[in-house]
Chains A and B, each alone.
Chain A
Amino acid sequence: EVQLVQSGAEVKKPGESLRISCKGSGYSFTSYWISWVRQMPGKGLEWMGRIDPSDSYTNYSPSFQGHVTISADKSISTAYLQWSSLKASDTAMYYCARHEGFDYWGQGTLVTVSS
């Protein structure tokens, strides 16, 4: 069974760093790109960027380029989304999803940034 399991909810202060994870199982992790999708409270879905786990090639949305970093460790079938300095506006639910077509999604990681 294909699964994407994300790390748990996080509560952080502005300026802090954070890395959340997405672990794939039940399929060949290096055969499918992984994307990250943001959903702010009460809002729609926004594509942030994607990574090819086979070689860690990344492709970012212009809206998120420079604000987040997407990485992967194929040895443990895990993709990551990280921030070096969080802002209150980063408060959102973050999902990972498998290409093509986002056929499988993680359960989501709620990130709350508040002083």
Chain B
Amino acid sequence: QSVLTQPPSASGTPGQRVTISCSGSSSNIGSNYVYWYQQLPGTAPKLLIYRNNQRPSGVPDRFSGSKSGTSASLAISGLRSEDEADYYCAAWDDSLSGRVVFGGGTKLTVL
């Protein structure tokens, strides 16, 4: 079981807005930044959102992140077929001498 909890799957039709949740605890999301990654099939993960809601250059503004308490969300608006991928959240966890923890991943299907 992953320390951060994500739904295993999500789906939407082109143009729709979808959100992916990530639930943690006070030792990780509650006290540290949240990061989101996109992993297209057969490729390395790519940073999508850093420090809760910041987008690296080159990431479309259709992607946005938010955090409240011990939960975070990734929102994708104007869904496109190329958004079909696995999405992971991550955060630093202050327990056990410190470690990075990931969510189990959410497979997004564009119908």
B99 — which chain A residues lie within 8 A by C-beta?
47, 59, 61-62
- In this complex, the interface size class of chain B, counting residues with CB under 8 Å from chain A, is 20 to 34
**What total of chain A residues lie within 8 Å of the partner, measured CB to CB?**
21
Contact A105 B45 (CB under 8 A): yes
For residue A66, CB closer than 8 A to chain B, the reply is: no
Of the candidates A35, A103, A107, the one having the most CB atoms from chain B within 10 angstroms of its own CB is A103
How many A-B residue pairs lie within 8 Å, measured between CB atoms? 54
A101 — which chain B residues lie within 8 A by C-beta?
33, 35, 47, 50-51
Of all chain A residues, which has the CB nearest B51?
Answer: A101
A26 — which chain B residues lie within 8 A by C-beta?
none
- CB proximity to B under 8 Å, residues A4-33: none
B102 — which chain A residues lie within 8 A by C-beta?
44-47
Q: List 27 A-B contacts (CB under 8 A).
A: A44-B2, A44-B86, A44-B88, A44-B104, A45-B39, A45-B45, A45-B88, A45-B90, A45-B102, A46-B102, A47-B99, A47-B100, A47-B101, A47-B102, A59-B98, A61-B99, A61-B100, A62-B99, A95-B44, A95-B45, A101-B33, A102-B35, A102-B90, A104-B47, A105-B44, A105-B45, A108-B44
- Interface residues of A, Cβ cutoff 8 Å to B: 35, 37, 44-47, 50, 59, 61-62, 95, 97, 100-108
